[in-house]
Chain A
Amino acid sequence: MGAQATPTENTIPLRRADFATLAEALDYAALGQTGCNFYNGRGELYEVLTYADLRDQAIVLAHRLAGLDLPRESRVALIAETTPDFIRFFFACQYAGLVPVPLPIPFSLGSHQAYVRQLRTMLQSCRPSIAMAPENFVSFLTEAAEGLDIDYFGAPEDFERLAPAETALRPLQSDELAYLQYTSGSTRFPRGVMIRQATVMDNLAGIAQYGVCLRPGDRAVSWLPFYHDMGLVGLMLTPVASQVSADYLGTREFAMRPRQWLALMSKNKATISFGPPFGYELCMRRLRPGEAAKFDLSAWRVAGVGAEMIRTESLRGFARALAPAGFREEAFLPCYGMAECSLAVTFAPLEQGLKVDRVDREVLAVKGEAAPVEDPDQPFNEFVDCGRLLPGFELKVLDGEGNEVSERTIGTIHLRGPSVMSGYFEDAEMTSQVLSSDGWLNTGDLGYFVGDRLFLTGRQKDLIIVNGRNIWPQDLEYLAHQQPEVRPGDALAFGVPGSDGSDLTVLVVQCRETDEAKRADLKKRIRSRVQSEIGVDCIVELVPLHTLPRTSSGKLSRSKAQQNYIASHDFTHRESRGRRAAV
């Protein structure tokens, strides 16, 4: 102990990510006194890594990696625990002309087999020449890599045995890859998003100059995993490329002790942190009565929110609960992005907070248009203003026939610009499905624009269409979540093909209740709420806890739930359902 965290103030002029490559960005950051700091679950600082030391150590390691004499842009798989070693290896790759591939760590109990399978599929996809796992994960890596052709793998210490190359290092150049990212795609068919140096630098500059508008005095805190786009690009690379000190807390440590996030923000007077809405909610739920005033969140100017559809309720609750700590609701910064665009696509204006657009539910369902509600008693849907495109992005919103739609009409979001990926690694077929030859990325996300503002309404593939009406699964799930027995994340809604070409609406809800009468009552309540609020009949099915399917990145998967449902139900019984629908 006794180590001092790196200071917030720097000795060199702030440069907002205006570099050609990540290696150049670190070269510059190393001239100052800022860096990154690692905290354990009890809030104790256990390692300080200034950007100067990071550069020195990454270069030493790069010489060892270069000694293996691998072709340029060979992949280096890194099990991405929140550790200084991960960052050292990530930048060693940059200097050695190799491409880092951050891979996940397991959080679930009893997930040994599933994790090893997932890891193996990813290793088979990116075909690394080198793989590194933290000491305590080497056994998993060894299992996953069995029989695969990997030149060198092991724990960080094992790399000290490598003989350093005598030749000069040739860092990755701006037209070469910066990293591969496995965020989207299913467990069985992972997709490695290819991001070039120029691509990620464009996005980092956008974030630093226009999204967050970094300035001297800024300091970041993050508990987001380094294998996720927001954790990696937003909270690891952005700080390095802008010479901002960053304080890291492990993701599991956050999940165990979410209040440590607030403690760390308070302690170092941090100004910037990001998270999914769920993270804010978890934090608020664990807050103890009267405790809020013990924190000092008055310096927190950017509380980024992204990665999930944004519902304002829990965020507003967080802001209210932490007002005694000096947290301001205007600090919320809604944003939209995805790994396929490096990270960020839009940001709301700073200090705007959560601005919502209330649109007529009936018009939305029947015409797919976002018409502002005039009568406050009219049923409405609320969408959050996700802000403006970062410079360089072009946006097209297309209807089902591929025609561009006008303002306030829902369509599929297509993007083009210098932050967009080059494709999925060695997967031309999947790439051509989402990326057109003239550079347009089909995000699959649904939304609409008003002036220069983008509003996200859902995922295209999840849309339920009943008798020509568009039904948003989030709305059905939301109604289920409002029942006392059901918690956020316990319900999934989707459509299944009905006999007349229209969808049958299904809500699968996980719950622990075993009493038959109580179960029947819960189903009845949900169904009647859906009927009265949305105006469609829906089949409610109760399933045991933890049985809702998830994607590889841990998000609940409506499409998998839909497939499971179709597979497990005999559709010859459709008639009885038809009768029920007519009630």
Chain B
Amino acid sequence: MKTYQDILNELLETIRPLAPNADSLTEDTELMGNLGLDSMKVMNLLQEVEDHFDVSIPINVLPDVRTVGDLARKIHEILGER
């Protein structure tokens, strides 16, 4: 069973190539605000995240995901429900 920290670390690795200009990437980095991902890049990222963690991210969680940490917590929840 992966811990939140494991998921966060893997998530940061997944995001890094998509946001090459980000100098610091942490739990609190905002995906759209700080990283400047547009809505299409966000969709691309979600696809990579789904494939990497083998989860399906429900559409209704998106409005409450702002930061990298928010997304890691959601993935943790989804994995925990299995």
Contacts and interface: CB of A to CB of B under 8 A. Distances in A.
Same complex origin of A and B: yes
Interface residues of A, number: 27
A252 interface: yes
Contacts, number: 64
Contacts of A282: 40
Interface size on B, as a range, is 20 to 34
B32 interface: yes
Contact of B59 (A81, A110, A544, A546): A81
Contacts of A136: 58-60
Nearest to B45: A256
A1 to B, nearest CB: 15
B39 interface: yes
B63 A140 contact: yes
Interface string A106-145: 1111111001000000000000000000001100100000
A41 interface: yes
A115 to B, nearest CB: 6
A545 interface: yes
A193 B75 CA distance: 40
Given A109-B66, A256-B44, A250 B31 contact: no
B79 interface: no
Nearest to B19: A512
A107 B39 contact: yes
A488 B43 CA distance: 17
A105 interface: yes
B60 to A, nearest CB: 4
B56 A106 contact: no
A108 B63 contact: yes
Interface in B14-49: 21, 30-33, 36, 38-40, 42-44, 46-47
Contacts of A110: 30, 32, 63-66
Nearest to B39: A108
Interface in A144-203: none
Interface string A541-573: 000111000000000000000000000000000
B74 to A, nearest CB: 11
Given A106-B62, A108-B63, A111-B62, A256 B47 contact: yes
B64 A112 contact: yes
A183 to B, nearest CB: 19
Nearest to A514: B21
Interface string B47-81: 10010000010111011111000000000000000
B11 to A, nearest CB: 14
Nearest to A134: B60
Given A110-B64, A255-B40, A41 B59 contact: no
A154 to B, nearest CB: 15
A529 interface: no
A109 B36 contact: no
Nearest to A139: B60
A546 B36 contact: yes
Contacts of A115: 63
Nearest to A282: B40
B21 A255 contact: no
B2 to A, nearest CB: 22
B38 A545 contact: yes
Contact of B62 (A40, A107, A544, A546): A107
A303 to B, nearest CB: 21
Given A107-B39, A107-B59, A546-B32, 18 more contacts: A41-B50, A106-B62, A108-B39, A110-B30, A110-B32, A110-B65, A110-B66, A140-B60, A255-B40, A255-B43, A256-B43, A256-B47, A282-B40, A487-B38, A544-B36, A545-B36, A545-B38, A546-B38
12 contacts: A109-B31, A110-B63, A110-B64, A110-B65, A112-B63, A136-B58, A137-B60, A256-B46, A282-B40, A546-B32, A546-B33, A546-B38
Interface of A: 40-41, 81, 105-112, 115, 136-137, 140, 250, 252, 255-257, 282, 487, 489, 512, 544-546
The 3 A-B pairs with the shortest beta carbon distances in the complex, nearest first, are: A136-B60, A110-B66, A112-B63
